[in-house]
Amino acid sequence: MKLSKRVQTLTPSSTLAITGKAKALKDAGHDVIGLGAGEPDFNTPDFIIDAAEKAMKTGLTRYTPSGGILELRTAITHKMERDHQLTYQPEQIIVTTGAKHALYTLFQVLLNEGDQVIVPGPYWVSYTEQIKLADGEPVIVDGDETNNYKITPEQLESAITNKTKAVIINSPNNPTGMMYTEAELKAIGDVCLKHDLIIVSDEIYEKLTYSDQEHVSIAQLSDQLKKQTVVINGVSKSHAMTGWRIGYACGDPNLIKAMTNFASHATSNPTTISQYAALAAYQANDDEIELMKKSFKERLEVAHQLLNQLPGFNCIKPQGAFYLFPNVTEALRQTGYDNVDEFSAAILDQEKVAIIPGTGFGAPNNVRLSYATDLDQLTEAIKRIERFLINNQ
Ligand code: PLP
């Protein structure tokens, strides 16, 4: 069967390839430790599950408005006010099937053929593919390791052409875990305003931060920046709700209206029961999040230190999310592997530890390890990687 050109240009996910192989090994009885996961290992808090159960038992199981129930959009406006002192009206919010579909819908309504979107690298794998699916062109601008993998305003300026429509800011970043400071965001924002660019601010990891640096939304830095920015967020990572599939976008009311119209034909609405669960999540305080965050921070401290002791591993300290992203150039040299794909595959083969090669994130010198797994497994996995490195010297 001949498939569309559109789908033929999609790059297969390197994350899925390695996690698929890890699962096959596990199913065959091997003791595999998976550090590939892009999701918290905690269960969704009970009070959220209770809210979903109540919704189901009280008949809240039908279609909702395409942009999401008004109560949830209102609760999100309160959250934005509380966390960022940003005032939005419910018409400026669309609730979507995960943050991923907020981004997908956004690119669909924003881009015409050939429009460019600047994607700072290393980047989350789906940005580039979603931009291509909307006939746009992703333009990668690599953040330098010496600048903690963040792009500078000068780099941004020199990547802008007359086709540039938007730029993505993902802070805290997947895969690096690094965060932009307020001053950096302001400087990047100035370039965006000068060139009338739309800023797509993916803040899905905003609640999971571990350094003294506070998460700042670029939208909160000025009224003009707020107007130019579409904030993307959701409950997946903050509330351990990846499977519930609830995300949202906030921004210009006309843009949100277009996205809602698009969604009405694409999905009708995000799952009703999940919307009531997310409503409970956003109406509560952040106590449960703080507990998860405490665990993540503890694991980060241990794993970061252990990882930097591995021969040929060089890992900056992430400030947020739940990933470590060491540069392994020297480890490749020492072990004789040509690239991180083969290196990661060999670690899985020999030591049954699944890590993700950086290739899919536009970072061919790095690997990504998730610390969304308990401390014992994490330390055992790093021990095994150490054995791999020693055995392959
Ligand atoms: N943005 C980034 C940077 C992510 O890492 C992810 C999930 O891995 C998403 C968005 C999508 O999250 P959701 O599960 O809400 O679709």
Mean pLDDT of the chain: 96
Q: Point out which residues pair with 200 in neighbouring strands.
A: 168, 230
User: Does the pLDDT at position 54 exceed 80?
Assistant: yes
Cis status, amide bond into 122, omega within 30 of 0: yes
Tokens of 383: 């021990």
- Sequence-ordered strand ranges (E) for the chain: 33-34, 93-96, 116-121, 137-142, 164-170, 198-202, 229-234, 247-250, 323-324, 353-354, 356-357, 367-370
Q: Is 99 in the pocket of ligand 1 (CB under 6 A)?
A: yes
Separation of alpha carbons 129 and 141, rounded Å:
16
Kindly give the number of the ligand 1 atom that is closest to the alpha carbon of 173: 3
Q: What is the pLDDT of residue 8?
A: 87
Ligand 1 center to residue 389 CA distance, Å? Answer: 32
Q: What is the pLDDT of residue 129?
A: 95
CATH topology of domain 61-283: Aspartate Aminotransferase; domain 2 (3.40.640)
What is the ipTM for the molecules in this complex?
0.99
Q: What is the pLDDT of residue 37?
A: 83
| Cβ pair 324, 318 in contact under 8 A | yes
Q: Is 45 in the pocket of ligand 1 (CB under 6 A)?
A: no
Kindly give the number of the ligand 1 atom that is closest to the alpha carbon of 170: 3
Kindly give the number of the ligand 1 atom that is closest to the alpha carbon of 235: 15
Q: What is the pLDDT of residues 15-53, one digit of tens each?
A: 778 888 899 999 999 999 999 988 999 999 999 999 999
| Dihedral angle over CA of 376, 380, 385, 386, nearest 10 | 110
188 membership: H or E segment, kind and range: helix 182-194
Nearest one of 250, 269, 321, 325 to 65, comparing CA atoms: 269
Q: What is the pLDDT of residue 150?
A: 98
Probe ligand 1: pick from 103, 236, 241, max atoms within 8 Å of CB?
Answer: 236
Q: DSSP letters along 331-384, please?
A: HHHHHT-SSHHHHHHHHHHHH-EE-EEGGGGT-TTBEEEE--S-HHHHHHHHHH
Ligand 1 center to residue 201 CA distance, Å? Answer: 12
| Dihedral angle over CA of 337, 150, 103, 360, nearest 10 | -10
Q: Where in the chain is the domain with CATH 3.40.640.10?
A: 61-283
Q: Is 233 in the pocket of ligand 1 (CB under 6 A)?
A: no
User: Does the pLDDT at position 91 exceed 90?
Assistant: yes
**What is this structure's pTM?**
0.97
Q: Where in the chain is the domain with CATH 3.90.1150.10?
A: 5-43+288-388
Ligand 1 center to residue 204 CA distance, Å? Answer: 6
User: Does the pLDDT at position 10 exceed 90?
Assistant: no
Q: What is the pLDDT of residues 307-363, one digit of tens each?
A: 999 999 999 999 999 999 999 999 999 999 999 999 999 999 999 999 999 999 999
| Cβ pair 104, 130 in contact under 8 A | yes
Q: Grade residue 112 by pLDDT with cuts at 50, 70 and 90.
A: very high
The CATH superfamily label for domain 5-43+288-388 reads Aspartate Aminotransferase, domain 1 (3.90.1150.10)
User: Does the pLDDT at position 221 exceed 90?
Assistant: yes
